[in-house]
Amino acid sequence: MCRTDIVKLLLEHNCDSNICNAQNESPLYISSKFGHADIVKLLLEHSCDPNICNDNKIASLLVAFMNGHIDIVKLLLEFKCDPNIRNNKKESTLFIASSKGCVDTVKLLLEYKCDPKICNYRNISPLCAAIENGNSDIVRLLLEHSSNIMNCYSNDEYPLLIASGKGYTDIVRLLLEHNCDPHVSNNRNESPLYIASKNGHIEIVRLLLEKNCNPNTSNNANVTPLIAASEHGYSGIVRLFITEIIKPFFEQLSDPYISIDDDEPSASIASRWWDRSHILASDIKILWHLQPSEHNYAQIVKLLLEHDCDPNTHNVKNESALFGASKNGHTDIVELLLKHKCDPNICNDKKESPLFIASMSDQTETKQLLLDQFIHLNICNDENDLGLCLLFDSMPSEHSYTRIVKLLLEYNCDPTICNDNNESALFIACTKGHTDIVELLLKCYCDPTICNNRNESVLFIASKEGHTDIVKLLLKENCDPNICNNKHESPLFLASKDGHPDIVKLLLEHNCDPNICNYKKESPLFIASTWSWLRFVRSVPHRSFTSRRCNRNYTEIVKLLLEHNCDPNKCNAKDESALFGASKNGHTDIVELLLKHKCDVNIFNDKNESPLFIASTYSITEIIKPFFEQLSDPYISIDDDEPSASIASRWWDRSHILASDFKILWHLQPSEHNYAQIVKLLLEHDCDPNTHNVKNESALFGASKNGHTDIVELLLKHKCDPNICNDKKESPLFIASMSDQTETIQLLLDQFIHLNILNDENDLGLCSLFDSMPSEHSYTRIVKLLLEYNCDPTICNDNNESALSMASRKGRTDIEKLLLKHNCDVE
């Protein structure tokens, strides 16, 4: 009996066809979803409710459409299904069909009186959805069925605005044919004409001009369609507008009393136009087909000024004509405006003067003209930045603005003014590495002792950025090398952290205290000894480097610090010494240097871990993992307090960049050889090999866990106790068995070792081995080895499971045979 017959039989026996499952899906819903048209028809004929929705408010009609079953859609509509039912986003079937471009479905739904005015939760109508996707056929269908042509959604985005912005000429034509208002605007006061002009859609601009759209209407920023098209370089649209607007304006401008519109004198028009067109005259490089030069614009400005245009008017950003001309270096126009008494001290809404903006743009001639006026040199912007300060902050490091600085200083510009961050021109020049400008400012008695809001001195920032020549200059000026920032980091600390040995040497020669620690109690020696590739890349992302050079730099810094009586036993807030950090990061050369300077090998951190422990238990996985997570982005935060999980989640999506650099990765990380050398050095300097951390894990335990055979061998030669267990009562042998470390197990078994030590769950290593191993992998060789050394196979865990029962459960026939040969009890 087929499925349809069963359904028919059940319905004939009065089975309730409207009972729903746990997701509130009715039999009709499921049949519609999977395209069972015969069953759908049967259910409808037996009065099954077609309007029942599931938990997401999806009805049978919508699910049939979404799965492409148009025959079922038609069937449901024939049985009077409500065509206007909406899902939990208030989207009707018509809305979704319109947005997906399904013309036939839209036509079908409209034939069954589906309401085209129903909008979704964002107030987007089917018409807007169809326009977004540029489907003119659907737009035509909806308009023919009286769709709401003035419907809008967030930010007042009307259908005509959407079509004008996206360049859908046919749709714009259709909307206008159906009497759509061409003068509508969004909440930024942008009209369809403005949006079409801004996006370069010339045919739409023509259509809108034919509908008498006003080309003089400005948006909230006082920008007209002409200016918008000009700014984006759409010369065809500009030419179109000029034909309509500018040309007749200039034809009649010669007589200030000729009326153009409603008897308004052209002089008045000039004044009215000035606040919109002065930026055009000063800034825009595309005007009509003549492609005018600065000379053309100068002529236009001259004409306007001769007709009594006010030269001091400004736009909504408070930018005057002089500001615009100064910004773009139009010297002829600047000269004209100044001759007509244009105020050179008018600032924009960011308090930036024409001189300020000219300085930013490297306009030397313009600045000279402005400086010759009665001008306020020391006007600061709304961030309290003097032009002199912001000039250095914005310029590229390879480009010098020396001549501009010299010019400003000759006109008595105050170099001591600081911005809101209390950063002076000298501070910013030091940051950017402009040695010649620093020298100029120091000659002008610029104070080198002023610190910014973070208490960073100019010497601090030059040391941090690695500008050796500037550091030399500042130290000659007797800058205090011991001033620390608000994290208590000295210039020496930062130079040591970022690997600048030349600067470290200079600072130490000028009596910089090598024992000043930061707020984490980290000394310059500690930070240089614990350098890592991850921190190096994060701190100095734009520096080129090689592993050899970087290692040499930090080794040299450590040597310099030790030669200048830096305390080698000073610890950070976690009680980690420089020797601990160097041992952890595999820096053999630095470990050797520290040991020569009598660094205490038995200082423990707050987890009771010694340098020997941390060197023995290193894991290449733990070293590489953060490198992969963070190296991919050079702009990553260098806040050491940020959790690595947070950093990883933010930057993981960029880690694919590492693919191209994969070959260098292995040159960047210390190998087992490095750590074996460090362990050997520490043991030769009487380091206690039997100390352990707070988890009672010894150095031998960590080395056994990670399979460092060389280190295990070294530790055992130095009388390391192989029977010390961790706080879970797991011995080095136990943990080596869990990690499939056969060579390590062999080394341990050759010692006087307790084979049958149980962990805190009463598991023998032999038992737990089978319980943890994957079924497809055999540990036969380890079991055989343990049994050869008389490991007791009869010991059971807390669940009374022996090694034999576990091997049976895992299907390890080969291991079962081995255990039975060693008289393992089958009971």
Delimit the domains of the chain by residue range: 246-351, 755-827
List the single range of 54-63, 179-188, 448-457 with lowest mean pLDDT. 54-63
Which one-letter DSSP state was computed for residue 382?
Answer: T
Using pLDDT thresholds of 50, 70 and 90, give the confidence band for residue 773. Answer: very low
Can you tell me the distance from the alpha carbon of 216 to that of 195, in angstroms, rounded to the nearest whole number? 14
Same fold, 246-351 and 755-827: yes
Average pLDDT over residues 540-561: 70
Statement: residue 446 has pLDDT above 50: yes
Looking at residue 713, what is its pLDDT?
A: 86
In tens, the pLDDT along 398-415 reads 344 677 677 677 767 777
What is the rounded (10 degree) CA torsion for 32, 35, 37, 42?
A: -40
- pLDDT tens digits for range 734-765: 888 777 677 887 787 777 666 555 555 555 55
Element at 96 (helix H, strand E): helix 93-100
Where does the pLDDT of residue 280 fall: very low under 50, low under 70, confident under 90, or very high at 90 and above? very low
Task: Determine whether domain 755-827 maps to CATH 1.25.40.20.
Answer: yes
The tokens of 49 are what? Answer: 């409710």
Residue 528, exposed/middle/buried by CB under 10 A (0-12, 13-18, 19+)? buried
Least confident range of 77-81, 150-154, 518-522: 150-154
Both tokens assigned to 659:
């693919």
B/e letters for 387-418, b = 16+ CB within 10 Å, e = fewer, are: bbbbbbbebeeeeebeebbebbbeeebebebb
Say whether domain 246-351 belongs to CATH 3.30.2400.10.
no
Lowest mean pLDDT among 122-131, 295-304, 430-439, 691-700: 295-304
Window from 247-261, 421-435, 685-699 with minimum mean pLDDT: 247-261
Measuring CA to CA, which residue among 125, 130, 183, 190 is closest to residue 155? 190
* pLDDT above 80: residue 462: yes
Contact 26, 57 (CB under 8 A): no
Once rounded to an integer, what is the mean pLDDT over residues 122-146? Answer: 88
- Coil/strand/helix, residue 698: strand
φ, ψ (nearest 5 deg) of residue 153: -130, -150
Q: Which three-class secondary structure state does DSSP give residue 328?
A: helix
Do 5 and 39 touch, CB atoms closer than 8 A?
no
Q: Among 116-130, 266-280, 471-485, which range has the highest average pLDDT? A: 471-485
Average pLDDT over residues 713-725: 87
Of residues 13 and 745, the one with the higher pLDDT is: 745
Measure the CA–CA gap between 759 and 767, rounded to whole angstroms: 11
Cα separation of 143 and 137, whole Å? 10
What value does the mean pLDDT take over residues 42-51? 82
Inter-CA distances, 537 with 321, 540, 650, Å? 46, 6, 17
Distance CA 187, CA 154 (A): 9
- pLDDT, one tens digit per residue, over 176-190 is 988 888 999 888 899
What average pLDDT score do residues 789-809 get?
72
Give dist(CA 132, CA 129) in Å, integer: 5
CB 731 within 8 Å of CB 704: no
The 10s digit of each residue's pLDDT in 349-371 is 887 888 777 776 666 677 677 66
Mean residue pLDDT across the chain? 75
In the prediction, which pLDDT does 495 show?
93
Gyration radius (Cα) of the chain, Å: 40
DSSP notation for 113-175: T--TT---TT---HHHHHHHTT-HHHHHHHHHTT--TT--BGGGB-HHHHHHHHT-HHHHHHH
Residue 654 DSSP code: G
pLDDT at 670: 54
Q: Do residues 619 and 585 lie in contact, with contact meaning Cβ atoms separated by under 8 Å?
A: no
Q: Which amino acid is at 420?
A: D
Residue range 146-158: average pLDDT?
69
Report residue 811's pLDDT band, with 50, 70 and 90 as the boundaries.
Answer: low
Q: How many CB atoms lie within 10 A of CB 92?
A: 25
**Angle made by CA atoms 71, 76, 82, in degrees to the nearest 5:** 140
Average pLDDT, integer, range 466-483: 92
pLDDT band at 515 (very low <50, low <70, confident <90, very high): very high
Angle at which helix 588-596 crosses helix 547-563, to 10 degrees, equals 10
For the cut 70, the answer to whether the pLDDT of residue 17 exceeds it is: yes
Q: Is the pLDDT of residue 826 over 60?
A: no
Find residue 53's DSSP bridge partners.
59
How far apart CA 788 and CA 647 sit, in angstroms, is: 49
In the numeric block, the tokens 């104070």 are attached to 447
**How much is the pTM?**
0.48
Of the pLDDT bands very low, low, confident and very high (cuts 50, 70, 90), residue 166 is: very high
Mean pLDDT of 783-809: 71
Note whether 524 and 566 are within 8 A (CB): yes
Say whether pLDDT at 666 is over 70: no
Q: And the tokens for 210? A: 């034919």
Percentage of the chain exceeding pLDDT 90:
17
Rounded distance between C-alpha atoms, residue 531 and residue 227, angstroms = 55
Listed residue (87, 92, 82, 30) closest to 51, CA to CA: 82
Burial 33-48 (b: 16+ CB within 10 A, else e): beebbebbbbbbeeeb
With 0-12 / 13-18 / 19 or more C-beta atoms within 10 angstroms meaning exposed / middle / buried, residue 165 is buried
